[in-house]
Each structure stands twice: as C-alpha cells, then as structure tokens.
A and B are shown apart, each in its own frame.
Chain A
C-alpha cells in the first residue's frame, strides 16, 4: 500500500481526492492449493477449477484456472484494506481473462468521484496479471470514515 500505515486503516476524506490512485499486489504465484481452498470455502467444485484432467483433456484448457469469484474476492481486499472492512456499498465488475496457477495479481484502485456530503467515494478497480493482462475490471462505491467502521 502506497498510503503507508498498516494498510488496514480507514481512509479519511482529506487523504483522498478525485484522481487518487493506489496499487496493491493481492496474490503472488497463486497455488492450485488456494484454488481448491476457495472451492471448499465457496462450495463451487466446478471441475474446471479443481480437476486438472477434466480442465485439460475434456474442456481443452492448459490447466485448471481460478474461480472468477476468487479473483474478485482478491480484488476486494485491495479496496477493504484501504477503506475498511464493511466500507463497500457496491462492488461489481467483469472477468476479462482467466487467472491461472502461478499468476501474480496487482490491483489498481482509482478514485473517480467523491460525494463529501454522503462521504462516499466511487472507485474504478483494475486487476492485472504479471503479463499486464487485465483479468478483472470493475467499480466499487465505499463509505469513507464512517463511524463504527473497522
């Protein structure tokens, strides 16, 4: 986190402005083990993610690949680390490319709008892999400096 601190603090209005941006590496060298761990946690055991012979021989992919929702969840950590857990009021995006074992993902977060009255920030988020391929692209709205935020 380029903002300093422990990367887990809530941001306050005077620390951000339209155009402020940050980036964070959210996963280094993703393991098949973590993909399986996510399958177990989410309940999604789709063999495209958990069954290498199925992914390669039946479905024709080079290997298993991560759930899109794992990529989205990893992306979300870059936002909640900046603005606090429970800060999001909206979060959405498109899965632009598959995430493979050994991938390293970097999330770029950019403030595109601020509503000081409501202390809301609109964010654009882009997640890229180690080859600068965009794997997830989306938006989020967060509350800033709300009381009782973690």
Chain B
C-alpha cells in the first residue's frame, strides 16, 4: 500500500471470534461482551487493505498454483529466486481494542539494512502501521520487519 493512505478498520465482533479460534484461544474476554481483541488481532487489517497481495481474487491471476493464466495484478515485488519472510514483529499497545471500535490505520516504511547470511545477502525492511481512534489518539503501533532472502533459505 502507498505510504500514509488511511484505511478504516472496523473491529467486528465476529472477526474477533474467528481470530480467537484461529489462534486457539477462546479466552472468555474474547468471547463475552465487550469482546476484547487478542494482542495480534490487528493483523486482520490485511482483509481491508485494498491492494493486499496475498488475497486470492476469483478469476484473476494468482501468485500461487492454479487459477487463470497471466501475471498476478499485484505481482511479487521480488523475483522467483527470492522469498520475502517475516523476520520480526513488535506491537505497542496504547489503548484497549474492543468490538465495535472504528480505527484508522496508516502504514509507512521504516529503516532498511542488509547483512550477509549463509545463503547470501539478506535485505531487511521495516513497515510501521499506526492505528488511531476517531480523535486521532494512538491505539496500537505495529512494526513489521521483513527480510528478503534467496528462495528456500532459512530465515535468520
């Protein structure tokens, strides 16, 4: 997504339920009203990012196997000889997130660096997403560190 494009992220009760099930944690706090969001729940933002590349779209080319022929509309940013992996993740929690909240997410690029690994050069990048409430107050900061490595190399 482009820097600073604001995305509305509505915290739906059923989405909290589905997320809690998927992480194997049906803690009462995630089940009973007011339904707290689990710590990593904001990963669900991927559902509403308009150009998210790991969302299959029917009848359009897909980066995985099968589907219709052609170049995926949101192609991988790396060639087939390279794979991008999630190296590190950090969350800072400023306010509790409960069902019914309406949050506003913006993402920006952070630092980049590289180092030499066993299988070649590893290129790291940071992507920082801030979730704010309607008053503009910070609710959660999510920092992803990704690494691009030669395909099938181990993540560091």
A residues lining the B interface (CB < 8 Å)? 8, 26-27, 34, 37-38, 40-48, 50-51, 53-54, 57-61, 67-70, 72-74, 76-77, 80-81, 84-86, 88-98, 150
B residues lining the A interface (CB < 8 Å)? 15, 18-19, 21-25, 27-30, 36, 38-40, 43-47, 52, 54-56, 62-65, 80, 83, 85-93, 96, 143, 151-152, 154-156
CB nearest to B16 among chain A residues: A41
Q: A86-B36, A91-B90 are in contact. Are A61 and B44 (CB under 8 A)?
A: no
Question: Do A53 and B54 have beta carbons less than 8 Å apart?
Answer: no
Question: Do B65 and A60 have beta carbons less than 8 Å apart?
Answer: no
A48 to B84, CA, bound (A): 10
- Number of A-B contacts defined by CB within 8 Å: 144
A150 to B16, CA, bound (A): 16
Question: Do B46 and A44 have beta carbons less than 8 Å apart?
Answer: yes
CB of A46, distance to nearest CB on chain B (Å): 4
A11 to B88, CA, bound (A): 28
Partner among B19, B29, B64 whose Cβ is within 8 Å of the Cβ of A85: B29
Write 16 A-B pairs (CB below 8 A) sorted by A numbering.
A8-B27, A27-B24, A34-B24, A40-B22, A42-B22, A45-B55, A47-B62, A47-B63, A47-B64, A69-B43, A73-B22, A74-B24, A76-B23, A91-B40, A92-B88, A95-B86
CB of B36, distance to nearest CB on chain A (Å): 5
Question: Do A43 and B47 have beta carbons less than 8 Å apart?
Answer: yes
**Residues of B contacting A91 in the complex (Cβ-Cβ under 8 angstroms):** 39-40, 90-91, 93
CB of B31, distance to nearest CB on chain A (Å): 10
Q: A40-B18, A70-B23 are in contact. Are A54 and B40 (CB under 8 A)?
A: no
Q: A94-B88, A95-B155, A97-B155 are in contact. Are A44 and B24 (CB under 8 A)?
A: no
